[in-house]
Structure 1
Amino acid sequence: MPYRLQPGDELSLSYLGLGPAPHIATIGPSGEIGFPYLGTFFAAGLSLGDLEREIEQAAVGVEVPNLPGRDPPFAVLNAENLFLEISRFRPITIIGQVAQPGAVEFAPGMSVRGAIGAGGGVEIFQGGTAPALEAPAQLRAALELRRLLRASLFKNEILLRAPTSVEDIPEEDVAALSEFLGDEGASAAIEEIGLAISERTLAIQALNTRIELVDQRIERLRAAFDNYSSASVTGEERLARILEMMDRGLTTEETVNNVRLAALAASTRLLTIESDIFGSQSERERLLAEIERTENEYRTDLFSQNQDLNRELSQLEGRIEGLQAVLLGSGGAVSQQVDTSVEVFIYRGSPDAEEGRLAAMNEAVQPGDIIEVTVTMNDD
């Protein structure tokens, strides 16, 4: 079942091969989202595909600014120019007995345990007066978060290998994603990879299509240049013969002027075509450079993401070591001191139709979920 958009989801609309730059917008509390040049759309409750089709219908024939230095200065949109994606899902909210209650950024494949870990882990005693008692739950949550970070790094490694479609992803890579995220999480990750591949492929295809059109224009101009070159030579030869005839008194001055003007027109047209060929060749070089820039930006962005992920992973490893040290220092006394029960409730749905129920720690969360953690001290 496709994901249904809700207020708080952030969308990115790209005009492939054209200006302006991708526009980022967030679905507001009313369920509406607006994009420049296209207007406002009601998005809440729609799938991404449904909204994209509505935007495509509204975009047909709309003029937008072209890329700087490109002629003409405005370009006309059509359905093939547009690419809509979810750039950020609405956050999850963690409440109850956690170290850091509040909003947590959603990541595809995240489980209830991972979400609680992002909220600082379960806090057995409010105020954090017994860190050793919290360590087991916090360690499990930290290990869950480490698994998700490693999965994100692996997903980027797949993208850096530049597959042309998800069908090109080796089976062993799909299996590795399943080990990281489970089958459901791996399917979501593969879908994300497919969207990234599609966006990059469409952008490159749009540029290659323009290069093909420029090549066709250059070919036509060169054919015209050859024709006018022959015409120019013929015109010059005819003018020389007419001038010779005039010297003998065999033709009029008007005829000479007409032939001279025709020869001049052919030479002028020849220069114009030569200039057009040069301009088209320059445009072709610019498009090739743009393809290279697009490829470089794609890889640079992935490397930048990996740097952030590795930095976060390094910090998390330190936290995991600290929690493991706490557990080793307790010598197993933690489980002997206090008997506790942790219950997690998950609330899901639109604000006017929200449903709550008990949730398992390994259950996948969805954008907008509210997770409530309660800790009960059991009697001896």
Structure 2
Amino acid sequence: MTMLMRFILAALLALPLGLGQAAQAQEYRIQTGDRLMIEVLEDASLNRTVSVLPGGTINFPYAGSIRVAGLSPTAVSNSISQSLSGVLASPPTVFVTAMPLEMPLTQTEPEQDVVNIYIMGEASSPGPKAVVPGTTFLQALSQAGGLTPFAATKRIQLRRATMPGQVITVNYAAIMRGAGMNLDPVLVEGDVIIVPERGLFE
């Protein structure tokens, strides 16, 4: 085999590897506030959608707290699979789909409506916020920079313009532990989030 033929053969063999690395480099990187749809092929009871917490982590059964911010969905899939390998008979097949907090609009899509809310109290950046429809309580706090060290995380209030006089108490501390992700309400027009200052013994 001539030197030229050897060079061409080596280049052809390296091409798929290079394409795979390029595709992985271009894969979306997960950010705080994103929602991840996680599917475990071997155990459907583990399938769920979780939010990326302000610290850049998610909570997943048997895997605990996993840092995902800055990683690709493929990297998160591998991490969860490795964490579950000691629980299931063999490393499971895990699929992760990222749903970014703010999906970029294409030129052909109509302008997206916004939901106007207000955040008061011990948030890092309180005040009026315009969020996209479907934004949850946790995602809105993430956009506000999270909470200050003085926030009473167990008794944050959500007041709705459509429910005068009624107060929804949200346990942010439980959500952060992964124990109350189903208590992460979707915000609607006119919602007011009130983050009280914690008491002396809280």
TM-score clears 0.5: no
TM-score (normalizing by structure 2): 0.39
> As a proportion of its length, which structure holds more helix?
1
TM-score (normalizing by structure 1): 0.22
Pair member with larger Rg: 1
